[in-house]
Amino acid sequence: MTHKRKKPGAHVIVHSSDENSQTQQNTQQTGLQILGRARSLVNSAGQFIANNYLLIAGIGIAAGTVAYLAATEGGRSVTTKIVDTAETSFNDLKQDVVDRFEQLKDSTMDLIQGQAELDQEFGEEQQAPRLRRVG
């Protein structure tokens, strides 16, 4: 059986009922495929959450902490204290490292100077004897 349908501004188009049923079947298959993929995606997401719930909980806790520190007056106060303490600790550590390197430099210079004095004091007596080739 054929149906006639006219598109606006076009000639009469003839469609058979077989073409319509084939189009409906293709549409249904595509819909079922999309539905199957959506179910698969939901199942994979559920499996991921089940396998990584501690990671997801940690991310949630971190996000909550960041929101608290950034959005509330108490959080800003805590953040300021943390930054001040970190700066003080870093400056103390930096000064300790600089002081230790200066001590190391001074000790090394003293050692080199002491060795130079010993070399001058004993002069050539302490030098290793020269080897001669005997033929």
57 touches 42 (CB < 8 A): no
pLDDT at 129 over 90: no
**Distances 19 to 22, 30, 50, 63, 131 between C-alpha atoms, Å:** 5, 16, 46, 55, 109
State pLDDT tens for residues 29-48. Answer: 888 889 889 999 999 988 98
State pLDDT tens for residues 43-88. Answer: 998 898 888 889 999 999 999 999 998 889 988 898 999 999 999 9
Looking at residue 125, its pLDDT comes to 54
37 touches 44 (CB < 8 A): no
Q: Which helix (H) or strand (E) holds 73?
A: helix 73-122
Give me the residues paired with residue 12 across strands. Answer: 6
